[in-house]
Structure 1
Amino acid sequence: MVEPSRRETLAAIAGGTAAALAGCQWNAEPSDGEREQRRRVTDYEVASVRHADERALFTEGEPLSTPRESDERPPVYGHTYLTSGDDLDDVTFAETSEAERLASFAAATALDGEESVYLFTTAVRACSEVRLQWVEVDGTGPSAQFCRTLRPADVECRATAYETTGFAIRLPFAGERFSGHGAGMSSSCGRPPRPEPFDPTEGSP
């Protein structure tokens, strides 16, 4: 089979509509009222990694998936929110340097205290990349918004291949009062809206 050229690859990806990641865990688009209640989190730290292997960097409560020997999209997707050491113990990280970096970042967080961690992993086409756009929080919990975009033209990649990317986001508040968390993915990385910044002391007694 003849591989498409780099130019053909970029044109095909740029001209197509990116499909949403499979799975029922993605949050629906929030209503106007929900948007007004959300606040942007600005004081956070993030570690991001990328691994040229079609497997999840971590999993929660399930075995880690293994790469497929085909060009089909691998079932790699997951996000979780850690507020305690027990939560971290429930997460299994892959035996790779990239996954270990996420694990070390999470372990260095003041869980059971003043901080919490949001973990995210997904498959991404080799010629594309995933970026974190922003993090928001409301009365339910935090939500991270990501986007997909093409990698620079000088990056060698195969159009049909998939890799895995992952993020660990350290948030400046404890999360025991929250009941959930969410994630979203945009097919372009345009400039996001600018809601009011989040104040972790707001609503505190």
Structure 2
Amino acid sequence: MADVPRRRALLAAASGIAALAGCAGSETASNSYPTANQPIDDYELEKARDESGGVLVTADDELPSLSADERARQGRATRRVLVADANLAELTFAGTDAGETLRSFCAATDFDAASVYLLAMPVDACREIRFRSVAVEPDQLAAGDLHPHADFCEAYRPADIDCGADETHTVGFAIRLPVAADSSTGSGRGMSSSCGRVEPPTVFNAAAASGSGGDDA
């Protein structure tokens, strides 16, 4: 009986999907792969924040310079799926602490047994982006094509953090998935405008702050 392909075996371990190998080199599954995204719990996560608001990673040879306009803000956004060392070699990371944090995490990946979903995005200086969950499309992965989907939410940062309301930072997430794949032709991202808090902290309420008469934090 042939060995179960690595990507199927790892997906089964990560999300409970059973796959059996057929005899004489043929492959069959005991249950068909579901079409809905399958949550992955056994992931590793690295997060980095650049308070200068620069680009963290790009597929170009050089990092683009940014101005203050909206197009520059969008230029901070990156979404890449790494399934091989060659994918990592195509990227240029910022020579900052945040850029090096992401690069080192990706470089430590064994792409024979895992993959990395890499995302970067702008965020207001007084806000933070929190990772919530990651899932894959099992039917695509069964064919060697990794389609990850990550969900995030935004929240106000703690009240004791000094930040400028008009400033933009950049945050990056590297999610190591315990699945290997031959390629990736798609990915997804969801973002909720709230992580559960309905109202911002009092320190961010301009009306309350102006009437408090207290010293600035």
Flag whether TM exceeds 0.5 (same fold): yes
Partner of 2:7: none
Say whether 1:151 aligns with 2:157.
yes
Partners of 2:51 and 2:169 within 8 A in 1 = yes
Instruction: Measure the CA separation in 2 of the matches of 1:72 and 1:158.
Output: 20
Instruction: Measure the CA separation in 1 of the matches of 2:192 and 2:64.
Output: 25
Partner of 1:17: none
Matches within 5 A, 1:11-90: 37-61=36-60, 63-69=62-68, 74-75=73-74, 76-90=76-90
Matches within 5 A, 1:44-193: 44-61=43-60, 63-69=62-68, 74-75=73-74, 76-111=76-111, 113-138=112-137, 139-140=139-140, 141-176=147-182, 178-190=184-196
Q: Taking structure 1 as reference, are residues 72 and 59 closer, same or farther at Cα in structure 2, changes over 3 Å only?
A: closer
Query: CA offsets per residue over residues 51-94 of structure 1, 9 Å max, x none?
Result: 11122110124642323257997231011000001000001101
Unaligned residue ranges in structure 2 (runs of 5+): 1-33, 141-146, 198-217
Which aligned runs of 4 or more in structure 1 are off by greater than 3 angstroms? 69-73
For 2:84, give the aligned amino acid. S
Instruction: Measure the CA separation in 1 of the matches of 2:183 and 2:52.
Output: 36
Give the match's secondary structure for 1:185. Answer: strand
Shift of 1:36: 6.5
TM-score normalised to structure 1 length:
0.70
Partner of 2:214: none
More helix by share: 2
RCO comparison, higher one (Cα < 8 Å, 6+): 1
Partners of 1:53 and 1:67 within 8 A in 2 = no
Shift of 1:167: 0.7
Structure number with bigger Rg = 2
TM-score normalised to structure 2 length:
0.66
Shift of 1:152: 0.9
Instruction: Measure the CA separation in 2 of the matches of 1:124 and 1:97.
Output: 18
Task: State the identity %.
Answer: 38
Q: Taking structure 1 as reference, are residues 73 and 87 closer, same or farther at Cα in structure 2, changes over 3 Å only?
A: closer
Give the match's secondary structure for 1:37. Answer: coil
